[in-house]
């Protein structure tokens, strides 16, 4: 692959991942691990009305200073996450 094609392919991946990282996502808190600063969230599936299953529950590190200790399993949240040092990290978090 030529250098210019490689640079273009890399730019597309970076732009795509950056766009996804900035989207707000809704979900339900499944588990709160205050000791390790992590929360497990099951994302709400968008799409067909009446769909009851969501995406798989994922663990996220919670960025310092965010509302964390008030979360409980079952809480509905809207959050934005990005990858920091290879770890999915919530950068914005709001209870609904």
pLDDT in tens, 19-56: 445 689 999 999 999 889 999 999 987 666 555 556 78
Q: H or E segment at 84?
A: strand 76-84
CATH: 2.40.50.320, 3.60.150.10, 2.60.120.260, 3.40.50.1170. Which one for 24-95? 2.40.50.320
Residue 18 confidence (pLDDT): 47
Give the single-character DSSP code of 48.
S
Q: Round to whole Å and give the CA distance between 64 and 87.
A: 14
Count of other CB atoms within 10 angstroms of residue 60? 19
Question: Looking at residues 49-78, what average pLDDT do you find?
Answer: 81
pTM confidence score: 0.68
**Domain-by-domain residue ranges, the chain?**
24-95
Predicted confidence band at 10 (pLDDT cuts at 50, 70, 90)? very low
Q: What are phi and psi of 14, to 5 degrees?
A: -65, -45
């Amino acid at each position: 692959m030529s250098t210019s094609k490689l640079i273009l392919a890399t730019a597309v991946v970076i732009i795509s991942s950056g766009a996804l990282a900035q989207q707000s996502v809704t979900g339900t808190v499944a588990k709160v691990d205050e000791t390790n600063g992590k929360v497990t969230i099951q994302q709400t599936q968008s799409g067909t009305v009446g769909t009851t299953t969501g995406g798989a529950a994922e663990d996220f590190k919670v960025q310092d200073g965010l509302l964390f200790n008030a979360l409980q399993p079952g809480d509905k949240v809207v959050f934005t996450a990005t990858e920091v040092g290879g770890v999915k990290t919530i950068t914005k978090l709001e209870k609904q």
